[in-house]
């Protein structure tokens, strides 16, 4: 027959177990960290076997975002985005200078653009334990549990971006944000086409407006 002391210990352990279970059930799902207001990131991107390296410069205080895109064995392309909805998509090749001006209804992504994303749980991705969120059936976002840095994101199109570096506070000098003069010819303006949409930056601008704008 159990002693009164043993019964008390068993009762204590039962109550402790029930408390832990209740606390776990009451815990809220984690939310993704806001993007830093300024950062530089190197991304390796794969879209159905088409590879590219993108230097992403994000500068929220100055209302600008810059993707410098190197397709595998291709021409270096520049995707310069402003918060007024204008994007300059151009090359700087000496004998092949091209530019398209593309107009969007929205500006660049806000630092809190992931607010409201649906939490999907944890998953090991690229050797990191990540929290995973889905945003409006458009993007799946993976964030390192320990550092809260982004690790990877997948677009609805199947394009996958792997985050290779993430430098918080890094800023690109102002003179590098100026689109070339030939971008301002009347013939430069163009609608977004499928080739442009393969750019990481262009796809990010397609995230539905209601999901990140005031």
128-151: pLDDT as tens digits: 999 999 999 999 999 999 999 999
Overall average pLDDT of the 158-162 stretch: 94
d(CA 61, CA 191): 28
Instruction: Indicate the pLDDT class of residue 192, thresholds 50, 70 and 90.
Output: very low
Q: Report pLDDT for 191.
A: 41
Distance of CA 59 to the CA centre of its chain: 14
Phi, psi of 85 (to 5 degrees): 95, 0
Instruction: Indicate the pLDDT class of residue 171, thresholds 50, 70 and 90.
Output: very high
pTM for the model: 0.79
Q: Let me know: does 188 contact 182? Beta carbons within 8 Å.
A: yes
Domain extent listing, the chain? 38-211
Give the number of other Cβ atoms within 10 Å of residue 65's Cβ: 22
25 pLDDT higher than 60? no
Give the number of other Cβ atoms within 10 Å of residue 182's Cβ: 12
Tens-digit pLDDT profile for residues 81-104: 999 999 999 999 887 789 999 988
Of the chain, the percentage scoring pLDDT greater than 90 comes to 62
Overall average pLDDT of the 10-22 stretch: 52
113 pLDDT higher than 90? yes
d(CA 120, CA 97): 44
Architecture (CATH level 2) of domain 38-211: Clam (2.50)
d(CA 205, CA 212): 11
Overall average pLDDT of the 149-172 stretch: 96
Phi, psi of 136 (to 5 degrees): 45, 40
Q: Which of 151, 112, 119, 113 lies closest to 134 in space, CA to CA?
A: 119
Pairing type for strands 38-47 and 160-168 reads: antiparallel
Q: Report pLDDT for 170.
A: 98
Q: Which of 35, 66, 39, 67 lies closest to 53 in space, CA to CA?
A: 67
Q: Which of 106, 124, 112, 97 lies closest to 180 in space, CA to CA?
A: 97
Tens-digit pLDDT profile for residues 59-78: 999 999 999 999 999 999 99
């Amino acid at each position: 027959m159990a002693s009164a002391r043993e019964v008390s210990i068993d009762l204590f352990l039962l109550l402790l177990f029930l408390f832990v279970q209740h606390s776990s059930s009451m815990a809220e799902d984690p939310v993704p960290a806001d993007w830093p207001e300024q950062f530089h990131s190197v991304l390796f991107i794969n879209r159905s076997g088409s590879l590219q390296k993108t230097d992403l410069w994000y500068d929220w205080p100055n209302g600008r975002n810059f993707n410098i895109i190197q397709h595998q064995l291709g021409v270096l392309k520049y995707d310069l985005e402003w918060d007024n909805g204008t994007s300059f998509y151009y090359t700087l090749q000496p004998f092949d200078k091209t530019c398209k001006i593309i107009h969007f209804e929205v500006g660049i992504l806000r630092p809190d653009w992931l607010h409201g994303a649906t939490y999907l749980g944890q998953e090991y991705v690229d050797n990191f334990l990540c929290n995973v969120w889905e945003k409006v059936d458009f993007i799946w976002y993976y964030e390192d549990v320990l550092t809260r840095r982004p690790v990877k994101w997948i677009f609805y199109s199947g394009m996958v971006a792997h985050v290779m570096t993430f430098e918080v506070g890094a800023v690109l000098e102002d003179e590098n944000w100026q689109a070339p003069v030939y971008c301002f010819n009347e013939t430069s303006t163009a609608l977004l086409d499928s080739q442009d949409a393969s750019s990481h930056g262009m796809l990010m601008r397609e995230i539905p407006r209601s999901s990140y704008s005031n």
